[in-house]
Structure 1
Amino acid sequence: MIKAIVFDFDGVILDSERIMYLVTQNLFHRYKVELPLSIWSQAIGTQHGFDSISYLEEHAQVKIDRKAFREERNALFNRLVDEEEVLPGVRSILEQAKALGMKIGLATSSRGDWPRRHLKRFGLSDYFMSIKSWDDVQRVKPDPALYLQSLESLDVAPKEAIAIEDSFNGSLAAKRAGMYCIVVPNAVTKQMPFGHVDGCFNSLQDVSLDKLIRYFSSELRAQA
């Protein structure tokens, strides 16, 4: 029986990935360098997946002040992302999970203060029994460590939990942990391959948690 649901944060609860891509892309344009989404997507859902500054230096044939670049990028990013609201359907899924008596966790490759600040801003902190982040593991997604720690913290088995992801790296981590995983791709992840997941939705607004649980529970019974 499904007992828990574990959310990713960036791209699932907050539309931060699109904003970071647009901000970085705009900075690249100063040097007349394009940043293809296919290249940028290597960084999504993980840490150190793509060194954007090295890429810019190579293609612009210039030396970049890394500290100044990061400070400007992060200042622009934070200003824009602080204006964003929680993504559609998130509150509905949280309320559905609460009504069903499910345990709710979060597993993110970001530092822990990042999701906590925005969950508090959205008024969503109290829904989460467990938050596992970059600070808690030696390797982030696509390694399964974040999800394995979430399962342990929530005291559930892998097949008793559903992960909600938006990226290839994140969904791969969930499947490697042995969990069910559904994905809700966004503007910067929709081109990624998701043939390994258990469901793909345009929006969390389209998800009935009760139907999803009944489907996965019947699948488990069929495998028994």
Structure 2
Amino acid sequence: MIEALIFDLDGLLVDSEYVYQKGWIVAAKNLDIELSMEQTQKWNGIGLTGIQEILLKSVLSSKREFELLVEELDKYIETHLHEIKLKPYALEVLTKAKEQNLKLGLASSSFRRQATNILKPHGLHDFFDSIVTGDEVVRMKPDPEVYLKSIENLKVNVDRVFAIEDSIIGGTAATKAQLKVFLIPDQSLSNKYSIKEKSQVDIIQGASIILCKWFFPTVNCF
């Protein structure tokens, strides 16, 4: 019997990826760094540590430059939080899950302050029994650490937990934590996952329909 669900945040519960991508572009421009939307679109689910590694191999020469870039990004996000909207049925799914007495965890690559600033205005924060963010782990997704900490916090057996993710990187992290994964790709992004990429993840097939029937049994789930 399933006792808990662990959710990703960005791109799954909230439509935030475009705001982050635009934020990186604006931040880079403010510092005279060349960065394209095509580059930022490949960062879905990576987290700041992973992005730092990518940029240090390409357009940045020091970690200090990256710190300045993140500071500019934070300024942009702070002033554009109003553009981050809930994904369709996010609130309804969390509500139904709580009605079924499921424990809920959040495993996000976003840092705690950013996650809180998104969760609270949308009324999502108090749904979660555990919140683990990118600044609270040593290794980011696709490493399983954020999921392993979430499972530990929820105090449930790994075979009684499902993960819900929008990215292959996040799904890989969950799979490495021995979780089965509902993979619901972010429809706001243009990138599509190949069969080879999907093979890295222990995917529950037909995720959207299964979740629809689970939480909304009276609805015609196409």
Structure 1 match to 2:220: none
Q: Aligned runs of 1:174-213 on 2, under 5 Å?
A: 174-186=174-186, 187-188=188-189, 190-192=191-193, 193-195=197-199, 196-199=201-204, 207-208=211-212, 210=214
Q: Equivalent residue for 2:12?
A: 12
Contact 1:97 1:209 (8 Å CA) reproduced: no
Match of 1:136 in 2: 136
| Structure 1 residues 198 and 190, CA gap change in structure 2 (3 angstroms) | same
Instruction: Tell me if the contact between 1:166 and 1:189 (Cα under 8 Å) persists in the aligned partners.
Output: no
Structure 1 unaligned spans of 5+: 59-63, 213-224
1:10 match: secondary structure: coil
State the superposition RMSD in angstroms.
Answer: 3.3
Moved over 6 A (4+): 27-32
Paired residues of 1:110 and 1:134 also in contact (CA < 8 A) = yes
- Tell me the residue number matched to 1:220: none
Question: How far apart in 2 are the matches of 1:72 and 1:32?
Answer: 12
Q: 168-177 vs 190-199, which deviates more?
A: 190-199
Measure, in 2, the Cα distance between the counterparts of 1:138 and 1:209: 37
* 1:209–1:189 distance in 2 versus 1, CA, 3 Å: farther
Contact 1:7–1:163 (CA under 8 A) maintained in structure 2 = yes
Contact 1:93 1:209 in 2 (8 A): no
Aligned to 2:104: 104
- Number of residue pairs matched? 206
Counterpart CA distance in 2 for 1:94 and 1:177 is 22
CA contact (8 A) 1:185 1:201 kept: no
1:149-177 CA-partner distances (Å, limit 9, x unpaired):
11111111122111111112111010000
| Residue 218 of structure 1: aligned partner | none
Equivalent pairs: percent with the same residue?
27
Say whether the 8 Å CA contact 1:46–1:142 is kept in structure 2: no
Q: Distance in 1 between matches of 2:206 and 2:26?
A: 29
Task: Report the Cα distance in structure 2 between the residues aligned to 1:109 and 1:69, rounded to whole angstroms.
Answer: 17
Partners of 1:121 and 1:19 in 2: CA distance = 16
Give the TM-score normalised by structure 2: 0.76
Structure 1: how far apart are the matches of 2:76 and 2:49?
20
Kindly state the Cα deviation for residue 4 of structure 1 after the two structures are TM-superposed: 0.4
Residues 154 and 69 of structure 1: CA distance in aligned 2, closer, same or farther (over 3 Å): closer
Deviation of 1:178 (Å): 0.7
Cα offset for 1:28? 6.2
How far the C-alpha of 1:29 sits from its partner, in A, is 7.5
- C-alpha separation in 1, matches of 2:192 and 2:60: 26
Q: Determine if contact 1:12/1:87 at 8 Å carries over to the other structure.
A: yes
